[in-house]
Structure 1
Amino acid sequence: MSRSYSLRSLQFGVLSDLVVSEDESYYPIADIVWRGDPRGARIPQIASMFQTAFDRNKPDMRGDTPIDLEITLVRFHAVTDLTRLTVGGVYNIIFDMTVRDARDGSVIEPTRRVEGNLDAPGGRRGQLLIEQGLTQRVRVTDFLTVFLRQQLV
């Protein structure tokens, strides 16, 4: 598919039945696990990373077709503090994505499921990343920036 998109807006939502976990086990049974921000409303925290990733891509994506991007979060499974401090793991991010023409709302790319995985180093390796300023939030937002761009070019 030939794409020449100009990013206009992002609509972010979540499936209505997603379960958020604050459990500190190695692998909580939940749809949303996030520890990269202080304890609080996890969905808005995640939404802000998607918005930042979208905004970062705007200056470089100035194609012929203005688009509105719809993202519906299906799963956002980062690592708990226990996992990050010991064995590490994988950030698993799954969402449904629809691309619409910003001029008339017509669907350019029908909804498709997208899955991205990012290594989540644990133990000393994970601590070194944090000491270098590469916190979970920084790493995941950087990953989402590149990942969204890959899905749209």
Structure 2
Amino acid sequence: MTLIFKTLTGLVLAATLTACGTVPTATRSAMPDSAFVGIPQPNLRVESFTVSVPRSLEVNERNTYYPRGDIVWRGDPMGDRHSQVKAMFEAGLRSASPQIDGTRAVRLDVQVTRFHALSEKARYSVGGVHDIEFKYRLVDVITGQPIGPTKDVSADLAGLAGQAAMAADARGETQKARIVAHLNRVFIEELTLPGGHQNAQLGLLQQINDL
């Protein structure tokens, strides 16, 4: 698809649409960006984890229907968006890990590759899709060896819109709370179910994210 076609498509779509037990602790030794190897195996126990959000991921703070960029996040005050995304992943992992309680102790290394939630303009009008992507590896705690190849995961979540979004905020079901709970489910499914987490099918809005 040419750049001109993508640009025109984005402009047209933006007019009406938008994109979008001991509890383990995060460890400091996150892996280098290029070092991932890993895939889930049955009967795992998550003993520790790392989360990396590379500084190479581009942040966009523009309040448009679909801000271009790797990280779009407005659920925290203005600040270090990379650190805010990392904190959400760590919160999801802390709550999920005690429920992944098999016999093989592993370290789970996660690297975020995209975190495109909704801008204010999108959330309070037409809604969209929280486009969340990451990859991970598993490392056997006893041997220190990785388990299998890297796995890429898409974990999209439908975003609320307009009155539904405001009502959810009033109940305490903020974007942040919904996404952390979603990440909890994603990690449990990924490491306990055959085939892992299956990304939701969210229609045209989801497809726009891939343009």
Q: Which TM bucket (shorter chain)?
A: over 0.9
- State whether structure 2 residue 108 is matched by structure 1 residue 69: yes
Contact kept? 2:53, 2:85, Cα under 8 Å: no
Counterpart secondary structure, 1:107: coil
The match for 1:25 is 64
The match for 1:43 is 82
Between the aligned partners of 1:110 and 1:18, the Cα distance in structure 2 is 23
Aligned amino acid, residue 76 of structure 1:
F
- The structure 2 residue matched to 1:89, chosen from 128, 131, 154, is 128
Say what the alpha-carbon RMSD is for the aligned residues: 1.3
- The structure 2 residue matched to 1:5, chosen from 36, 44, 50, is 44
Between the aligned partners of 1:88 and 1:102, the Cα distance in structure 2 is 42
* Structure index of larger Rg: 2
The match for 1:80 is 119
Between the aligned partners of 2:65 and 2:144, the Cα distance in structure 1 is 43
The match for 1:135 is 174
Unaligned runs of 5+ in 2: 1-39, 193-211
Aligned amino acid, residue 107 of structure 1:
P
- State whether structure 2 residue 169 is matched by structure 1 residue 144: no
Between the aligned partners of 2:157 and 2:96, the Cα distance in structure 1 is 19
- Residues 32-73 of structure 1: per-residue CA shift (max 9 Å, x gap): 000111110011111111111111122222211111111111
Between the aligned partners of 1:28 and 1:142, the Cα distance in structure 2 is 24
Between the aligned partners of 2:82 and 2:144, the Cα distance in structure 1 is 26
Between the aligned partners of 1:109 and 1:81, the Cα distance in structure 2 is 40
Between the aligned partners of 1:147 and 1:68, the Cα distance in structure 2 is 17
- 1:104 deviates by 2.1
More strand, by proportion: 1
Aligned amino acid, residue 133 of structure 2:
I
Q: Percent identity?
A: 32
- Residues 95-149 of structure 1: per-residue CA shift (max 9 Å, x gap): 1111111222211132111001111011111111111110011000000000111
- The structure 1 residue matched to 2:97, chosen from 58, 75, 85, is 58
Counterpart secondary structure, 1:150: helix
- Runs (4 or more) in structure 1 with deviation over 4 Å come to none
Aligned amino acid, residue 153 of structure 2:
V
> When the two structures are superposed, what TM-score results if normalisation uses the length of structure 2?
0.69
Unaligned runs of 5+ in 1: none
- 1:78 deviates by 0.2
Counterpart secondary structure, 2:118: coil
Aligned amino acid, residue 135 of structure 1:
T
Q: Which range is displaced more, 46-55 or 71-80? A: 46-55
